[in-house]
Amino acid sequence: MGWVFGFKPHMVIAGKGQVMAVKSMAGNAEDRKPFEAMVAEMEGKMFADRGDISKAIFKRLW
């Protein structure tokens, strides 16, 4: 796709707007790694961008 500069912010936000987790990654980092780490201890429904979750992560969280 080309060169990526900067960073990508990742946030987990609860239903009422509370920020539950924040992580900043390099612009060329994979999106799935911070998602797994940020939601490891959480319970309940989770909604994510298609790029943040794989079939393996979905099965483990289910």
Q: Is 1 part of a structural domain of the chain?
A: no
Contacts of 26 (CB under 8 A, 6+ apart): 7, 8
Cβ atoms of 21 and 38 within 8 Å: the answer is yes
pTM over 0.75: no
Q: Is 50 part of a structural domain of the chain?
A: yes
What range defines the domain where residue 50 resides? 7-61
In the predicted model, is pLDDT for residue 19 greater than 80?
Answer: yes
Give the number of domains in the chain: 1
In the predicted model, is pLDDT for residue 1 greater than 60?
Answer: no
Q: Residues in the chain, how many?
A: 62
User: What pLDDT was estimated at residue 3?
Assistant: 64
